[in-house]
Amino acid sequence: MVLINNAVCAYIHFFCFFVHTERASLPRNMIENSMFEEEPDVVDLAKDSTAFPGFPALDPDEVVYEPRSSRLLVRGLGENDLDDEEEDYESSARLLGMSFMNRSSARSPSSSPYTRQAPPRSCSCPSTRKLVVGVFILVLVSSMAMALYFLPGCTFTKAGCHKDNSSTPIEPVYPNSTTGEPFPWNEPRLPASVRPVNYNLSLTPNLTSKTFTGRTVINMMIQHDTKRVVLHSSDLNITKATFQVGKDKSVEVKVLEYKPWQLIAVSFPEDLKAGQVCVLTLEYKANLSNTYDGFYNSSYNDVTGAKRVLAATQFEPQAARKAFPCFDEPAFKATFLVRITREPEYITLSNMPKAKTTTLPSGLLEDEFEQTSVNMSTYLVAFIVANFTSVSRNVSNTLVSVYSVAEKKEHTHYALDAASKLLQFYNTIFDVDYPLRKLDLVAIPDFLAGAMENWGLITFRETTLLVGNQSSPLDKQLVANVVAHELAHQWFGNLVTMRWWNDLWLSEGFATYWQYTSLTTVFPQLYPGDEFLEVRFKAMAKDSLNSTHSVSVSSQMTSPEDVLEMFDSVTYEKGASLLLMLNSTLPDGQFRKGLIEYLNKYRGSNSVTDDLWNSLTQVCQESVSDMMRTWTLQKGFPLVTVSCKDGQVNLTQEPFLLSRENTTHTSSCLLVSCSAGSSALYFVSLLATLKVSDSVKWLKLNYMNTGFYIVHYGVEGWAALINTLKTDISSFTAHDRASLIHNMFALSRLGRVSFPQVLSLLGYLTKETETAPLKEALSQLSSVYRLLDKRPDPYLVSRMKGYILNLFGPLINSLDWGEEQSVSRQELRSALFEMACGLGQENCTDQAKVLYDQRTNSTQPKIIPGDLERVVFSVAAQSDSGWLSLLEAYGHTTYDSEKRKILQALASTQDTRRIVWILNAGLQGSIIQTQELPLLIGTVSDGFAGHLFVWNFVKENWDSIIEKFPLGSYPIQSIIKSTTSQFSTQMHLEEVQGFFSGLKERGHPMRSVQEALETIRLNQDWMDRNLPALRQSL
Ligand SMILES: [Zn+2]
C-alpha cells in the first residue's frame, strides 16, 4: 500500500458539522464571534489592555472593587448565559456585549456604554447614569435582584443591616486577618494594581537546625491607584516590613495576613498612584519544609554510610511563597537577584551563574548570583545548598553541567551528552536560542516529582538523570525522555508562560509533545514513537470518563487542590496528542512556522490558548482556532462510526462517553485520515461522501493513530479488517495494528462490540512480532485479568490465564534471556516475561531463578540484563530467602534505577506480613524513602494478596499520607487510582464513596475521587455485560 503523506494535502480546510440542534447548534466560539463582529471594540479593548506584555488583560482588582450593584450585573448575567467552561470575566463581558474599563479604556471611559467602575476610594453612591444603566440590565436579569439591591431598606454588608441605605456606601465583605482586623482584599487571586519588577532575595539556611532566615526586597510598579499591596506568603514569620515610595524615606509598615489564601497585605491611608515605583522590604524566618515543596531539607547516606543533608526547592505550582513573600502567580513575571549564605563545605546553585562570593565576619560565605537576564515567573525560581560535584560542556554559548552527589559522578555523562544534543536541536527547531549562559541539571537524592524545569537549574530524581555504562537502554530511554521534556520547557513554559494554571497544557502538553518529537530526531534508536502511541491510548482512557476535564479549563479555578489536579494525563498527554493531530493535518512545515511565530510574539511574557491558535491561524491561513477550540474547550473526544452500503461510505461522529451524561457536546472539527484496500491514504472530512469501488475490501481510518478519536467499523467492517490482518498482516503499519486493538477494546468497554469479537481480533496475534501491537494487547488483557483476579471466580481466572499464556506462549518461548541491544525488543520481552512469570508460567519462573542465582550465589556473579532485572527480582522476592536478600541489596545498591526495581519486587510479594511491613516502611520514610510510597501502593494493589489490605492501609493512614503529599497532587491521584480501580462490586463502590465523603475538610472534592467512583461503576457494568460471554468463550 502506498500512503499519501501530509504534504500531498497541501490545501486543507477544516470541516465541521454539528449533530446537536438545540439553541447551541452553533459552537460557542461562533456565537461569540458573531457578537465580536457587532462590537469589534470589545475585542480590541480586551486585547489592548495589556499595559505590559503578559499581564492579565482584564483586571480582577477592578472587578471586585466595583460597587456591589454593578458587580452583580457582570457576574449574574455571566452565570446565566455561560457554563463553567467559559465563565470568566472576559467571556462574560463579551456575551453581554460589555467592555471592561481597563488600562487603555480608563483614559476614555466613554468608549463604551458599559464600563467597569474605578476602584472606590470610598464607597459612594452610584451616579445617576450608572444607576440607570444598572437598573436597566437588572430588570432583564431579575426583579429579585432589584428588590434586594435597590428597593428594601436593607443592604447586606459586613456591618449587617443598615436602615438608611440611600446614602450608605456598600462595601465588599472582607475576611478577618490573623490579628482580627479586616484583611483588605477578598479574592484568592491577586489584584492587578501592583506589579513586581525585581526581587532581591537574601537567604540564610541552617541545615542543622532546619530553619532559614530571609530578606526579600521587592521593587514594584503601581499599575492603578490603590491603597493596598497584596502578595503571597505561606508559613513565613515576618519580623520586619518597610515600605518606600519613590525617593521618599522608607517607613516601617504593618503586614496583615490571611492564612486560608496564603496572602499578606499592607494598607495605606492614601492612594499609591499609578506609575509610582515602590519598594517593599520584608524580613522573615521560617522552618525548612519537611515535605517535598517550598524550600525543603533532605538527607541521604553517602558511600561511607554517613548521613549528609541538603536543602533544595520545588516551587511549581504554588510553593515559592513558602520560601519568600512574592506575587506567586505565573503572570507576575519579574527579574530576580539571589544571595545565599552557606557553610564552606557546601556549594550553592541558583538559576543564574554565580557572580561573586563574600566571606562574612561569622566565617560563613555568601554567594551572590547574577540578576536574571529574563523576566520569569516565581514558580521557576530555584536554589540548592548541597555537597554536589559536576561535569560540564560548552554548547552554543551555554555551559551545560550535570550535578550529582560525589560518588555518582560517573553516572552523569549520558545526561550531559543527551542535554547537549537536545539543546542544539531545540535552538535550531524553535529558531530562538536558549537565553541563559548556563544550564544545570541536578540529581537530587530525595525528590518527589520526576523533574522540574526551573530556568537554568533543572532538578531531577536520581533515576531520571543518572545512568551508568552498565545501565540498560531502557534506563537511558527514561533519562533521555525526561531531559527532552524539561529542556522543551525552557521555551514552552519558561520563555512563554501560561497566564494562569487553567492553561497549564500550553506548558505541559508542549513539553510532552516535544519530548517524543525531539527524540525521534536526536535518538531514533530509542523508539520514542512507540511510547508516544501508548501515551495517547492512556490519555484516551482518562478522557472517556465523565470526570475528565477539558484541556483548557475555566480561569475561575483558584483552589490549590484544583491547581494541583491540573497536573494529570489530560493536561500532559491529551495536550501532546492534540498537537500531534494538528501537526499531522496541517501542510508540512506550517505547524513549526506557527510555533516560531507564537514563541517570538509572546517570549518573555504570558499567553492563553487562543493566542497559540491565533499565531497558527496567521501562519497557516487556515482557521486553526475554529478547529482546535472544539478540542480544547470541551472534554472527551469523538467516536467516528463508518458505515458502508453499495460502495458509499458514510462517516458520523458522536462523543465517546463510557457513562451516559446529559450535557450537550459540540462535534469536534475533524479531518480523518483514511486508508483503503486500494493502498492509498486520503484525508476526508466527515461531510464528504466517500465512494469506494467493489475491489476495496477494507477501510482503515486514523492512519498511525495520529488523530485523537476512536473508530467503529460495524460488524462487517471489523470482519473485513480482521480477515485482512489474518491473511496479510503487512497491509497495516504496526501502529495501525495497535490502534485497531486499542479501538476494539475501547468499543467493548462502551458496549458496542461483544467480547467474542474482541477475541476474534486477537486471534491474529499469533502472527504478530512488533512491539507496539503486542504491548497494547498485553496491557488490555492484563487489565481484564486483574479485574477478574479480584472476583471470587477462580475457575474463570484460571481459564483467562490459560488463554493469555496460550496466545503469547509461542512468542515467549522464542525469546532468550541474554543481552539484547534493541530497545524495542527489550520493551517487548520484559513485558512478556513479566506477564508470564506473573501468571506463574514455569519456564519463565525457572529461568528467572537461574539468573538470580547466577547473580547472588555464584563465585563469579553475572550481571542481569537491565530490562530483565525487575522480572528476575520479582520472581526471587516470592521466596523467603530471595525477599531477604533483596532487602539487603536494597540497602547497598547505589544505582537508583536498580533500587526502584528491587523495591517493586519487594512489594510484589504475596506474603501479607511483608506487605504490611513494606507499606509501613514507605510511610515512615527511614529505610524506604517516602517519595516511593505511591510506587509501593501501586505495586501491592496489582497483586491478589495485598489489594484489599492496601486499601485499608490508605484509609487508616490518610492523614499521614496527605501530610506528605498534598490533596490533589499527582501522588494522591495515583494512590486513589491504584487502590480503587480494580474494584467491581457494589459493596466496594459504597465503601469508597463512604470513605471519601466522610473525609470532609481532609478531602477536598477531588476529580480523582469522581474518577475512582465512575471507574468502579463501569467495571461493574462491564462485568455484568461480559461475564457470561467470557465464561462461554474462554
Ligand atoms: Zn513538564
User: pLDDT tens, 883-915?
Assistant: 999 999 998 887 888 999 999 999 999 999 999
Distance 230 CA to ligand 1 centre (A): 29
Distance of CA 277 to the CA centre of its chain: 37
Mind listing the pLDDT tens digit for each residue in 380-398? 999 999 999 999 999 999 9
Distance 529 CA to ligand 1 centre (A): 19
Distance 25 CA to ligand 1 centre (A): 37
**pLDDT higher than 50, residue 157:** no
Distance 394 CA to ligand 1 centre (A): 25
* DSSP 3-state of 205: strand
Give whichever of 91-95, 108-112, 872-876 has the largest mean pLDDT. Answer: 872-876
Q: Contact at 8 Å (CB) between 534 and 512?
A: no
For 343, counting Cβ atoms within 10 Å of its Cβ (0-12 exposed, 13-18 middle, 19+ buried), the class is: middle
Mind listing the pLDDT tens digit for each residue in 221-231? 999 999 999 99
Distance 461 CA to ligand 1 centre (A): 14
Distance 489 CA to ligand 1 centre (A): 7
**pLDDT higher than 50, residue 2:** no
Residues with Cβ–ion distance below 5 A, ligand 1: 508, 511
Distance 289 CA to ligand 1 centre (A): 23
**pLDDT of 355:** 98
Distance 582 CA to ligand 1 centre (A): 20
Comparing CA positions, the residue from 568, 573, 572, 582 lying closest to residue 613 is: 582
**pLDDT higher than 90, residue 662:** no
Mind listing the pLDDT tens digit for each residue in 728-741? 999 999 999 999 99
Mind listing the pLDDT tens digit for each residue in 115-145? 233 333 332 333 444 444 444 444 444 444 4
Distance 507 CA to ligand 1 centre (A): 7
Model confidence at 684, pLDDT cuts 50, 70, 90, reads low
The DSSP annotation for 988-1015 comes to HHHHHHHHHHTTGGGS---HHHHHHHHH
Mean residue pLDDT of the chain comes to 84
Distance CA 955, CA 949 (A): 10
Higher confidence at residue 481 or residue 163?
481
Binding residues for Zn(2+): 485, 489, 508
**pLDDT higher than 90, residue 103:** no
Q: Which of 86, 486, 622, 869 is catalytic?
A: 486
**pLDDT of 154:** 31
Q: What is the pTM of this model?
A: 0.83
Distance 778 CA to ligand 1 centre (A): 28
The amino acid sitting at 603 is: R
Model confidence at 646, pLDDT cuts 50, 70, 90, reads confident
Distance 452 CA to ligand 1 centre (A): 7
Distance 935 CA to ligand 1 centre (A): 20
Helices (H) and strands (E) in the chain, counts: 34, 29
Model confidence at 305, pLDDT cuts 50, 70, 90, reads confident
**pLDDT of 478:** 95
Model confidence at 241, pLDDT cuts 50, 70, 90, reads very high
Q: What is the mean pLDDT of residues 14-21?
A: 28
Distance 707 CA to ligand 1 centre (A): 22
Comparing CA positions, the residue from 496, 532, 537 lying closest to residue 515 is: 532
**pLDDT of 860:** 85
Mind listing the pLDDT tens digit for each residue in 520-548? 999 999 999 999 999 999 999 999 999 99
Distance 273 CA to ligand 1 centre (A): 39
Q: What is the mean pLDDT of residues 634-641?
A: 94
**pLDDT higher than 80, residue 408:** yes
- Tell me 376's DSSP state: B
**pLDDT of 134:** 44
What are the strands of the beta sheet with 354-359, ordered from one edge? 251-252, 237-245, 277-287, 211-222, 194-206, 335-342, 365-369, 354-359
Average the pLDDT over each of 28-32, 276-280, 288-292 and give the range with the smallest value.
28-32
Go through 184-201 and write b for each residue having 16 or more CB atoms within 10 A of its CB, e for each that does not: bbbbebbbbbbbbbbbbb
- Tell me 289's DSSP state: B
**pLDDT higher than 60, residue 749:** yes
Q: What is the mean pLDDT of residues 201-212?
A: 97
Binding residues: 485, 489, 508
**pLDDT higher than 80, residue 147:** no
Contacts of 877 (CB under 8 A, 6+ apart): 883, 886, 905, 906, 908, 909
Q: What is the mean pLDDT of residues 230-248?
A: 97
Q: Contact at 8 Å (CB) between 906 and 922?
A: no
Model confidence at 170, pLDDT cuts 50, 70, 90, reads low
Give 196's strand partners. Answer: 220
486 catalytic per annotation? yes
Distance 542 CA to ligand 1 centre (A): 19
Average the pLDDT over each of 177-186, 230-239, 855-864 and give the range with the smallest value.
855-864
Mind listing the pLDDT tens digit for each residue in 58-90? 333 433 322 222 222 222 222 233 333 333 333
Q: What is the mean pLDDT of residues 772-782?
A: 97
Distance 905 CA to ligand 1 centre (A): 28
Go through 109-145 and write b for each residue having 16 or more CB atoms within 10 A of its CB, e for each that does not: eeebebbbbebeeeeeebeeebeebbeebbeeeeeeb
Distance 484 CA to ligand 1 centre (A): 10
**pLDDT higher than 80, residue 40:** no
**pLDDT higher than 60, residue 33:** no
Q: Contact at 8 Å (CB) between 493 and 443?
A: no
> Within a 13 Å sphere around the CA of 374, how many CA atoms are in the beta-carbon half?
25
Distance 483 CA to ligand 1 centre (A): 10
Average the pLDDT over each of 49-63, 391-405, 628-642, 952-966 and give the range with the smallest value.
49-63
Q: What is the mean pLDDT of residues 766-794?
A: 94
**pLDDT of 678:** 54
Distance CA 586, CA 855 (A): 53
